[in-house]
Copies of this chain bind each other. A is one copy, B any other.
């Protein structure tokens, strides 16, 4: 009868959002060593309240991941202006944003905890991260790719396959290295360069003027 934010996506109160932000910060700092007591202390709330609101530790983690996911969502790509330049800049911006999110401390921490809990039979954090990470990227990017194909700028048969190649060209080994704790300097200018390279290579593979082999 209680448990406001556990199973349903009822809107969170501001206090609850503050608590989840505290949990998020702690997750970034301490990783999976995050304890209920530490969250309660950081958020200046009682453990009882945590359990009333989120059910159990897993519910708190789930709510935290979803809360972060709800923040990132919404940067949709406009699909008007179908010329080559705007498609190129659209892909570049996309790749750039993606790398920026991917290499952020919050993303790394969230992916870490989701990977840690994957395979467990409890609530699947991995599915949530997957849904709001790669899959969300696919849902947003694939329409753009198809618009580009309809405009005669790109050539491919399988949209998902094209997306996954773009993913590979953008991310390469960055994410796994970050997750495994490799010290990694990825400045803003480096990210922009990576985005440009990936986009250029993608056009080399899927541009309509080159070939259509898939």
B-contacting residues of A (Cβ < 8 Å)? 31-32, 111-112, 114-116, 118-120, 124, 126-127, 129-130, 133-134, 164-165, 167-173, 175-177, 179-182, 197, 200-201, 204-205, 210-211, 213-214
Contacts and interface: CB of A to CB of B under 8 A. Distances in A.
A172 B180 contact: no
Contacts of A213: 200, 204
Given A169-B168, A182-B126, A176 B116 contact: no
Copies per assembly: 2
Nearest to A213: B200
B167 A169 contact: no
Contact of A130 (B112, B170, B180): B180
A213 B214 CA distance: 21
A171 B164 CA distance: 10
A158 to B, nearest CB: 11
**Which of the listed residues A111, A173, A205, A213 has the most CB atoms from chain B within 10 Å of its own CB?**
A173
In order of increasing CB-CB distance, the 10 nearest A-B pairs are A118-B181, A126-B181, A168-B172, A126-B180, A168-B168, A116-B116, A115-B115, A164-B172, A130-B180, A115-B179
Given A126-B181, A126-B182, 12 more contacts: A31-B119, A112-B118, A116-B116, A118-B179, A119-B181, A129-B180, A130-B181, A133-B180, A134-B176, A165-B201, A167-B172, A204-B211
A17 B133 CA distance: 39
Contacts of A175: 176
